[in-house]
Amino acid sequence: MANRTNYKQIGEDLWKGRTEKINAELFAFTYGALVVQLIQDYEDCGEVNRQLERMGYSIGTRLIEDFLARSNLGRCNDFREVGEVVSKIGFKSFLNITPSITHTAALPPPPGAAAPAPSQTRPGAGASFVLTLEENPLAEFVEMPEEAVDGGLWWSNVLCGVLRGALEMVQMQVEAVFLSDVLRGDESTEIRVTLKRYLEEEVPAGED
């Protein structure tokens, strides 16, 4: 589709236009040292996962402004387009990787269910996409010890937080979780992003 090639080209142009780049290994060293410190402090992989996600959420809320300012893209028409922009332009312009993407449309509501509330009738809620990261700059030189694998640590969980934070700032409440990770011995590294609902334009509650 013509749109798809455009995204790839936009992503490439954005990356080439970046003049300030650093070695990916440096980024991996820093992130790695940070995760190790968190594991030492919390001693609980589940908690570390939560902290990484929370940190990613804060980063995502800042990152999206940077991204929108640079890329000058308009609103996405549907969640499918969101996925394309995220994988081909978002990841490309910050991490210089282009994860491959698999879309899943929203499931129709089961027959006989009660009429959904107005905020849920927007088409697309429940849609999801899965990003498959062939390369992961956060995981360079990383080998997870048995305790971390058994404890359920997702090394790159910060990415899930970034996705959640960034998309929330553009009025989408999503859930991003890791499905598999080569660091844990799985075949591939996959993140699933599911749209929960579209957010109304209002002051977000709870943060203050």
Partner 1 sequence: MANRASLTPSLQAPTVTSTSTPSTTSLLTPALLSLSSPPQAQVDIHALEYLLIEASRTLADSARVAQARRDKAEAEMRGAGWLPTQGGKEETGGARALSKLKEPLRDEVERARRARAEEEEEVAVRLRLENIGLHVGGNLAEKLCRDRTRFADPLDSVKFLCKEIWPAIWDKQVDNLRTNHRGVYVLQDAAFRPLVRLSSPFGSAEAAKRAKLHLAFPCGVIRGALARLGLHGTVTAEVTTLPQCTFQIKIPKNT
**Interaction site with partner 1 (CB under 8 A):** 18, 20-27, 29-34, 37-38, 40-43, 51, 54-55, 58-59, 62-63, 66, 93-96, 135, 137, 140, 158
Nearer to partner 1, 59 or 179 (CB): 59
In terms of phi and psi (left: phi > 0; alpha: psi -120 to 50; beta: otherwise), the region of 149 is alpha
What is the spatial distance between Cα 172 and Cα 1, in angstroms, rounded to a whole number? Answer: 25
Nearer to partner 1, 58 or 119 (CB): 58
Q: Find the shortest distance in angstroms from Cβ 52 to partner 1.
A: 8
Q: Find the shortest distance in angstroms from Cβ 56 to partner 1.
A: 8
159-162 contacts at long range (C-beta below 8 A, 24 or more positions apart): 159/56, 159/191, 160/53, 160/56, 160/191, 161/52, 161/53, 161/54, 161/55, 161/56, 161/57, 161/58, 161/59, 161/60, 162/56, 162/57, 162/59, 162/60, 162/63
What is the spatial distance between Cα 152 and Cα 147, in angstroms, rounded to a whole number? Answer: 9
Q: Find the shortest distance in angstroms from Cβ 50 to partner 1.
A: 11
Backbone angles phi, psi at 111, to 5 degrees: -65, 145
Q: Are 14 and 92 in contact (CB under 8 A)?
A: yes
Q: Are 161 and 53 in contact (CB under 8 A)?
A: yes
Q: Find the shortest distance in angstroms from Cβ 29 to partner 1.
A: 5
Q: Find the shortest distance in angstroms from Cβ 109 to partner 1.
A: 38
Nearer to partner 1, 1 or 22 (CB): 22
Nearer to partner 1, 100 or 121 (CB): 100
Nearer to partner 1, 48 or 127 (CB): 48
Q: Find the shortest distance in angstroms from Cβ 159 to partner 1.
A: 11
Nearer to partner 1, 33 or 107 (CB): 33
